Structure formats: C-alpha cells, structure tokens
Chains A and B, each alone.
Chain A
Amino acid sequence: MEESDTGLVLRVRRGDAAAANRLLERYLRPCRAVALAVTGSEADADDVCQDAFVSAIERIDDCREPARFGGWLLQIVRNRARNLLRRGEVRRTESLDEHTVADGPSPVLEVERQELRERLRGALATLSETQREVVLLHDLEGWRHGEIAERLELPVGTVRSHLHHARRRLREILGNLEAER
C-alpha cells in the first residue's frame, strides 16, 4: 500500500531523504502540469515545478495539515508561476531544439509535434486557469475527480463541470483548426 502524504511529510520533517524522494515521484509531474496551466510554457513549467518543490521541502514545517500536502504544494507552484508571469519573464515560445534529442524522432515528425503543441497551447489559452489545471491533471496526469477536488479545494461537481467544459472547448477549437487545414 502506498504511504500516505501525512506519513511522508512527517518523515521529511525528521530529515528522511527517501521520504522526500517519494513525494517528488508522486508530485513533480502534477506540479509541472499546474505550472504549465499558469504559464503556458513548458520550459518555465520545468523550472517552476523544480523551484516550488524544493521550496516546499525547505518549508515543510509550515505545512500545517500534512494530509493536505498536495494542495499546499500546488498552491506554492501556482504562486511561483504567477510571480513569473507578473515579472513578465515567461518564455512564450520554445525553440524546436529544446525538445529535439539526438536519437529522438525525425525532424519532420518533430516539426509536426511542435505544430500540434502550438495548436494545443493556443486552445488551452482560451480556457480559464482552473479549467486548464483540471484538464491537465485529469487527462494528462490521470488524477481522478476526487483527487483533483481535494487538492484544488473545489467541490467534485465543480471539477466535473470544469473538465466537461474544458474538453468540449478543446475539441471545438482543435476540430475547427483541423477543418481549416
């Protein structure tokens, strides 16, 4: 059985590096998804999720309810990402090279993927920040409605509604773009 957030947080407070690593495995990807929802930039999301996670471990004693570590951590991510936006330091576009690896897909395939990413990014930009968080946490990270509700401090019904509208909007926009091609 997976160890609870509470157990892991208490172990981190006692200086247990393995527990911190377990939390990292559990939350770094969702942190990135939330950072991406706020900034719209993958490169910035990578930086923000790292900084926010490290900061959370530094301030672990401030996490008043260890059972709600996930929500507390995601709030740190959100704040950091918003600060980045406020300072106008977000990298709006990423060079193709950033995601091209030497033994990765062919340049043509990579161009297509980059194009798809741009279309998706444009479609996500039409959603509210919360809708983006919900759809990325659900459809990319595989979190269930209840998990999202708990960690975003929203009623489950609201999460379902956000997901429904976000998916519908994404399909409309991506469908229109497809028809225009």
Chain B
Amino acid sequence: MNDPEAADLTAFDPERDPRHWSHVKNATRFRVAQVILQRNRGRDPLAVVSGWASPILATAATILLLLGAANVLIGRPDPPAASEARRLAYLTEAAVLRGHGPTGAELMAAIHPREAR
C-alpha cells in the first residue's frame, strides 16, 4: 500500500505562535508544580523522615558496634556505660532493619536490663 504524501498540517503546529504556546506550557507547568507541592505536603511526615533517618541511624549503630568491638579486642574492661551503649546500638540496628523505632519497653530493657526483667 503506497502511502499518499502527507498533507501539510503545520498550520496546526502550536509553535507557529511561540509566545502563545510558551504561555500554555508555563501555565501547565505552574499548575503541575502546585499539584506536586500539594502531594508532598500531604505525605506522611514519618515516611519522609524515615527516608533520611534510617541511613543515619544505621551508620550510628555501626560506629557504636565497632567501638564496642575495638574495646573488646584491646582487652579493656567493659564499663557499664559501654555495655549500655552497645545494647542501644543493637536495639537501634534492629529497629532500622524492621523499619520502625524501638518501643518504650525495649528502650528500658536496653538501659536497665535487670529492672526490666
């Protein structure tokens, strides 16, 4: 099937009037930006925070664990504060992995393990 030659449809080209078309595009862009802004405002703040909080918490937990491990390797006794820090680090790491923060009871158990039992 031989296609007939295309008819010249450039009379309908929106960019034959660049100023008008630019106005249409900018008006659309502005409205779209408002929609996106509204969308971002409506998002769950915890979801937004968790997006950047998780890597920070994970890094902090890893550093604490490494410090604890270094302590053991050089044979220094484990002071109470260091044990507490290590328990908190484990707890934080577990919280990051499961995607939500530790409960009050878990925190208490990490800080005062005997009292919590």
Chain A residues in the interface with B (C-beta under 8 A) = 12, 15-17, 20-21, 24, 28-29, 32-33, 36, 42, 46, 49-50, 53-54, 57-58, 99, 101, 104, 113, 116-117, 120, 123, 135-136, 138-140, 160-161, 163-164, 167-168, 170-171, 174
Bound CA–CA A58/B7 (angstroms): 36
Nearest A residue to B6, CB-CB: A139
Are A167 and B11 in contact, CB atoms less than 8 angstroms apart? no
Alpha-carbon distance A54/B7, docked complex (angstroms): 31
From residue A56, how far is it (CB to closest CB) to chain B in Å? Answer: 9
Q: How far is the CA of A50 from the CA of B33 in the complex (A)?
A: 13
CA distance A32 to B40 in the complex (A): 28
A139 to B25, alpha carbons, bound, how many Å? 22
Residue B60 is within 8 A (CB to CB) of chain A in the complex: no
In the bound complex, CA of A165 to CA of B25 (Å): 32
- Contact status A57-B32, CB under 8 Å: yes
- Rounded to whole Å, the gap between the CB of B93 and the closest CB of chain A is 26
- B4 and A164 form a contact (CB under 8 A): yes
Number of interface residues, chain B, beta carbon within 8 A: 30
**Would A15 and B1 be within 8 Å (CB), given that A50-B27, A120-B11 are in contact?**
no
Chain B residue at minimum C-beta to C-beta distance from A33: B12
Query: How many cross-chain pairs have Cβ atoms below 8 Å apart between A and B?
Result: 95
**Residue B76 at the A interface, CB < 8 A?**
no
**A167 and B9 in contact, given A20-B36, A50-B24 (Cβ under 8 angstroms):** no
Rounded to whole angstroms, the CA-CA distance of A50 and B21 in the bound complex is 11
In the complex, B28 has a CB within 8 A of chain A: yes
- What separation, in Å, do the CA atoms of A104 and B20 have in the docked complex? 12
* B31 touching A54, Cβ below 8 Å: yes
Q: Among the interface residues A12, A16, A29, A54, which one has the most CB atoms of the partner chain B within 10 A?
A: A54
Interface residues of B in 10-41 (CB under 8 A from A): 10-14, 16-17, 19-20, 24-25, 27-29, 31-33, 35-37, 39-40
The residue from B16, B20, B28, B39 contacting A50, defined by CB atoms under 8 A apart: B28
**B5 contacts the other chain (CB 8 A):** yes
**Nearest B residue to A47 by beta-carbon distance?**
B24
